[in-house]
Amino acid sequence: MALIVAGVLFVGIAVLPVGLMFVESLRTPQGVSLANYSSLLTGSRQRVLLTNSFLLALSSSTLAILLGAPLGFFLAKTKLGLRPWWRLLLMTPLLIPPYILGISWMFSTDMLRLLGWGNWAGLLATWTFSLPGAVVILSLCYYPIPMLVTEAALNRVGVRLEEAAWLVAGWKRTLWSVTLPLVHPSVAAGFLLVFILSLAEFSVPALLRVRVFATEIYTQFAAFYDFGAATAAASPLLVVILIIAFLIRWLLGERIVSSRRSLNSSPLMTPSSWLPFGKLLSVAVLMVGILLPIASLAMKVDRPMTLWRSTDNSTAEIGSSLALSATAAVLAVGLGLFLGYWRARTNVRWKRVADAVWISLFALPGTVLGIGLVRLWNEPGLMSFYGTWGIVIIGLVARFTPMAALLLAENVRQLSVSWEEAALVHGAEWWQTFGGIVIPNLKKGLWAVGFLIFVLAFGEVAITILLIPPGRSTLPLKIFATIANSPDSVLASLCLFQTTVILFPLFVASGMIFRPRRPSAKEVRGLCL
Amino acid sequence: MSPSEVFLKLNALSKSFNGRKIIDCLDLEVYAGEVFCILGPSGCGKTTLLRMIAGLELPDQGSIEIGGKIVVENSRTRMAPQNRRIGYVFQDLALWPHLTVAENLEFVLKAHGISKKSIASSVGNMLNLVHLSGFDDQRPETLSGGEQQRLAIARALMGNPLLVLMDEPLSSMDSQLRGQLRQEVLQWIKELGVTAVWITHDQNEAVTVADRMAIVSKGCLIQVGSPDEFRKRLSDDSVRQILMDVSSNRDVDTNWRG
Amino acid sequence: MRNSCNKGRVLSRRLWKSPWGLVILLSGIFLSVSSCSRRHREDAVVIYVSTDRPFSEPVLQAFEKRAGITVKAVYDTEETKSTGLANRLLAEKNNPQSDVFWSGESVRTLMLKRNGILAPYNSPSASAIHSTFKDPEGYWTGFSARCRVILYNTNLVKKGDAPKSVFDLIDPKWKGKVTISDPRFGTMSFHAAALFVVLGDEKAARLFQDLQENEVRVSPSNSDVRRLVENGEMALGLTDTDDANTSILSGKPVAFVYPDEQGMGTPFMPNMVSLIAGGPNPESGRKLIDFLLSPEAEEMLAKSEAVQIPLHPSVSLPKSVRSLSSLKPLQVDYAQVATRLEEVIKILQPILGL
């Protein structure tokens, strides 16, 4: 029942507006036709752009895996002190919007010059504005995704499975032939996520003048104002993404890697001699991925006054941005939880269609969804709602629920079905099982997905600008409306400011989440009663 | 309840997965208060049978009656699993990892809507019964294999179930412990007076604990009777052959029907 | 029944004790507060602004103070490529939410006029503004203009050597040293389309062809053009007066020239303000337009960092701003430029390899 409600809700707020835009794309002055689509395939220009997009996404996701998977391994399998803080530091690039990283990389040439490394600066300057430059920046943004996914998967692999192999094979072969095969579906899921994100990413290629398909869609909206053609322009990207997604599914199947958690026996660890290598890699990644960009930004802020002035009068925007993204995250996770649960547990034949719908909705440019929502909701009867924050929240929820559903479905698959069956058989109603068994075991996943959506919603601009009530603003909107003709120092300080506003709640939240586990039994009891 | 009263009744039950018949037109009657053992090699459909009784799986055809009420008929559920008042010991135990030992038991009582006051004492009594008192606040994964198994059985016995289904409840234990626990489990069941369906592939176990027992092979019931009858017929070559096959986990030739 | 009530209470208590409960509570409060605050009905006007917020906000605040009408603005800028507002106005066509659209350039305003989004209004404040900068039908009125300029790095280019015309940019001595922003977007798109209208397709396409052969660098936006010239990575760049002024004010080694003062004239890009057809507060909307078109508003914009050139002859000017009469604006029909834009983009994409 609840699942049906969630499904209807999802169709209402996310599928309907996009469907409306799709219908629009079929309408041409000559009546219903595929003209908008056929014109996409005829140009050689489009082919070049699509190839570039594909190359960008493929290389970015590969590089992100090459960085992220070893780091995830390092976090999960070495005897590391202060592990949560390492993890936190290593995941920060994901939380900084890509365009801020892009801007800081552009500034980094100046920094190198200032440090007296003019030759390097010249090299970097020419190299940044190219496909490889975009690949490096995007993979530095997104490597935390495969890192976190890999770490989580490694931790989930049953200790007993590993130990069984360890006895006969030694730890090296165990890692190679038992542990890694068990985690590679998760790593592949991370790959897919990065692939979609970098294929749909618009700001960094635009900044670095790399010609990709995402900018083409944008051009349709920004230069030609033809909604139908613009929506159609998104279809080649969707096709590429869906092909990749189903290729991965087909290669891996819906494997369930479930195991009993074990608290008292520690997972298989690599020898301590590996630790320095892991630390070295992490420090290197952190230097390039965080320190360099932030230092470059900080260097541009010539007067502390600039930083202070740019943050002045933004309290309202910060407040609404935080509340808006928190609300959107909660609602999207709530809705995504039901959808993801349904997806993981259903046996319906067309369950794969749900995957396709989610992936498409997630990869579709926000503008398509935004305009669809305006068309759908801007009705005189709904005025009391359309002109409020509520519609922005609907937009953000519609934007991020598909991702929540995809990720949470993956999480639910890791839960043993028999836990739920045991509850059901022993008299629990469906919702008791859901609230008492499923949700508590998904807790970590819910927090992680919620935080990811919070961060993405915080930086969202495309939908917000279309739906924001007049007279209101969010922090990124304000920054966007301010940076155009501002000097570098203001631009840099605003970027730094937004970074701080995103990272601050992270460090607060992590203080809450990463506090020493194992609460006392009494506490656990109290929580459950 | 008088021992002769039929408590669980399966009528012409059939189930197939992907075109493969798992259960084929199976009839079975279990009397109130008895321990009924189902003996069979792995993959013969024992677990599917149990899951259908619990309501976790729908039969394609046939009906199931529990305590005189039809709970499922021709793949239409008449009574939801949570209302059948069943206790179930899963093969993988399925202990809830996020709850403590005591909470695992409490959950069942809460699901049955039992008042808070009596919950604490019932849980305490049950933990006593299965020799797990003192482990209240531990998580299941910190228990030993035998303790986990006792917890799973205790959970199945919570809340006065009318029927307890046990899917190889002692499978993962060494033989000495198994013999000991086997007697204990039997004692608990008898003490609570519940009807039990006990699945095993160990003929010794079956013969020891069962009031009556049956052999399942290739989805069919091929011999029903008391352990004594089985023992008597052990001299019979063909029965011995079946039991040997069962023990060595080979499928029994279905041409042989008792 | 009692059973499920009991259980529900347990569940909800557990929920409140977890951090999620707090989050949900906060969100609930936020939602209800935000939807309640909407209920206050007051004298208000809604404006969509695509002129940079730091310049437009003070002007709107001055109007609020003067007229006692609350201004509800949504700010955007075409420079940052969100292009949200024009799309939003189109999408909201059936039930307009905005009263006034204030655009930093002309192309989008005219696109909106073609799509029937705008309503005519001839403001009395605009009587002194030259008819070149006004729609004959009254759908838009121009004010406070920016110019396209050639920005140069004073370390790399001597004052006397600086190009005087866009045609000087194809001189081989500037090979690989010139940057323009993407001619599909923003003010460069206006500039490009205006050149096609004034020069004719063949000559204009030739110009861009020559620029391409002279290894012109196409930057994503005007601010990138500015940045490249400031850094000395590029010697010359085409950008707007406000960008150039920002750069000079922050002490960078740059200067600029108004191109083609001796020839066809410098491209002028007035701000444009329009009334939205069927907007919720048309009366307040007209008042706001009257204010924006007043000499006072123009003076504010002239004195801001945007250094926009007033179209009223009477406005007193700061030293850094040239007066309209001292310049030679490129004579061009703004409507024609906007109509040609789409075609021009399609011609330019293959030429510049975009």
Subunits that touch chain C (at least 3 Cβ pairs < 8 angstroms)? A, B
Q: Which residues of B touch A264 (CB under 8 A)?
A: 141-142
- Note whether A440 contacts B155, CB cutoff 8 Å: no
C75, C80, C87 ranked by CB distance to A466: nearest = C87
The C-alpha of A264 sits at a distance from chain B's nearest C-alpha, in angstroms, of: 7
Name the percent of chain B in helix, strand, coil, to the closest 5.
40, 30, 35
B-chain residue closest to A442, CA distance: B98
Highest mean pLDDT: which of A49-53, A365-369, C58-62, C305-309?
C58-62
- pLDDT, one tens digit per residue, over C50-60 is 888 888 999 99
pLDDT for residue C21: 59
Average pLDDT, chain C: 85
The C-alpha of A47 sits at a distance from chain C's nearest C-alpha, in angstroms, of: 13
Exposure string for C226-263, b = 16+ CB within 10 A, e = fewer: bbbbbbebbbbbbbbbbbbbbbbebebebbbbbbbeee
- Note whether B141 contacts A262, CB cutoff 8 Å: yes
Exposure string for B181-209, b = 16+ CB within 10 A, e = fewer: bbeebbebbeeeebbbbbbbbbbebbbeb
Written as six digits, the tokens of A342 are 């349904």
- Note whether B56 contacts A432, CB cutoff 8 Å: no
- Note whether A482 contacts C52, CB cutoff 8 Å: yes
pLDDT band at B248 (very low <50, low <70, confident <90, very high): low
Task: Report yes or no: B41 and B250 within 8 Å, Cβ to Cβ.
Answer: yes
- Note whether A426 contacts B156, CB cutoff 8 Å: yes
Over residues A143-151, the mean pLDDT reads 87
Dihedral of alpha carbons A156, A159, A161, A166, sign: positive
Which of C1, C2, C4, C6 is the mutation pick for testing B, counting most B CBs within 10 A?
Answer: C6
Task: Report yes or no: C77 and C53 within 8 Å, Cβ to Cβ.
Answer: yes
For residue B113, is pLDDT > 70?
yes
- Note whether A416 contacts B88, CB cutoff 8 Å: no
Over residues A79-86, the mean pLDDT reads 80
Least confident of A40-44, A410-414, C265-269: A40-44
Interface of C with B (CB under 8 A): 2-4, 6-7, 10
Least confident of A87-91, A245-249, B8-12, C154-158: A245-249
Written as six digits, the tokens of C35 are 């939807």
Listed in sequence order, the residues at least 6 apart from C189 whose beta carbon sits closer than 8 Å to its beta carbon are: A223, C107, C182, C183, C341, C344, C345
The C-alpha of A76 sits at a distance from chain B's nearest C-alpha, in angstroms, of: 20
pLDDT band at A8 (very low <50, low <70, confident <90, very high): confident
Q: Which residues of A touch B114 (CB under 8 A)?
A: none
- Note whether A437 contacts B112, CB cutoff 8 Å: no
pLDDT for residue A256: 43
Dihedral of alpha carbons A242, A248, A250, A253, sign: negative
Highest mean pLDDT: which of A374-388, A476-490, B83-97?
B83-97
pLDDT for residue A50: 85
A263, A418, A430 ranked by CB distance to B92: nearest = A418
Least confident of A298-312, A418-432, B213-227, C115-129: A298-312
Q: Which residues of C touch B110 (CB under 8 A)?
A: 6-7, 10
The C-alpha of B178 sits at a distance from chain A's nearest C-alpha, in angstroms, of: 22
Count helices and strands (H / E) in chain C.
12, 10
pLDDT band at A304 (very low <50, low <70, confident <90, very high): low
Q: What is the largest CA-CA distance in chain B?
A: 57
The C-alpha of C73 sits at a distance from chain B's nearest C-alpha, in angstroms, of: 50
- Note whether C2 contacts B113, CB cutoff 8 Å: yes
Q: Are strands C236-240 and B69-73 parallel, antiparallel or unpaired?
A: unpaired
Pick the closest to residue A61 from A176, A117, A145, A5 (CA basis).
A145
Q: Does ipTM come in above 0.90?
A: no
pLDDT for residue A267: 57
CA dist C214 and C352 (Å) reads 11
pLDDT for residue B247: 59
pLDDT for residue C47: 94
- Note whether C6 contacts B113, CB cutoff 8 Å: yes
C76 touches chain A (CB under 8 A): yes
**Integer CA distances (angstroms), B112 to A197, B92, B193, C12, in order:** 47, 23, 19, 18
Average pLDDT, chain A: 79
Alpha carbon B15 to chain centroid distance? 19
Residue B192 amino acid letter: L
The pTM of this model reads 0.81
C-chain residue closest to B113, CA distance: C3
pLDDT for residue C274: 95
pLDDT band at A2 (very low <50, low <70, confident <90, very high): confident
A-chain residue closest to C40, CA distance: A384
pLDDT band at B239 (very low <50, low <70, confident <90, very high): low
A-chain residue closest to C96, CA distance: A378
Q: Which residue has the tokens 């394609």?
A: B60
Task: Report yes or no: A482 and C76 within 8 Å, Cβ to Cβ.
Answer: no
Highest mean pLDDT: which of A104-108, C82-86, C226-230, C285-289?
C285-289
C-chain residue closest to B108, CA distance: C7
C-chain residue closest to A392, CA distance: C31
A106, A385, A480 ranked by CB distance to C80: nearest = A480
User: Measured in Å, how far apart are chain C's first and last C-alpha atoms?
Assistant: 68
**Integer CA distances (angstroms), B172 to B38, B131, B147, B154, in order:** 18, 19, 12, 17
pLDDT band at A522 (very low <50, low <70, confident <90, very high): very low
Which of C1, C34, C93 is the mutation pick for testing A, counting most A CBs within 10 A?
Answer: C34
The C-alpha of B238 sits at a distance from chain A's nearest C-alpha, in angstroms, of: 37
pLDDT for residue B71: 92
pLDDT for residue B63: 93
The C-alpha of A420 sits at a distance from chain B's nearest C-alpha, in angstroms, of: 8
pLDDT for residue A41: 67
B54, B97, B136 ranked by CB distance to A441: nearest = B97
B111 touches chain C (CB under 8 A): yes
A350 touches chain C (CB under 8 A): no
- Note whether C2 contacts B110, CB cutoff 8 Å: no
- Note whether B110 contacts C6, CB cutoff 8 Å: yes
For residue C287, is pLDDT > 80?
yes
Pick the more confident residue, C299 or A167: C299
pLDDT for residue C28: 64
Residue C181 amino acid letter: S
Exposure string for A128-155, b = 16+ CB within 10 A, e = fewer: bbebebbbbbbbbbbbbbbbbbbbbbbb
State the CB neighbour count (10 A cutoff) for residue C41: 6
- pLDDT, one tens digit per residue, over C214-256 is 999 888 778 888 888 988 889 999 999 988 988 898 888 999 9
- pLDDT, one tens digit per residue, over B140-174 is 888 888 889 899 999 999 888 989 999 988 876 77
- Note whether B113 contacts C10, CB cutoff 8 Å: no
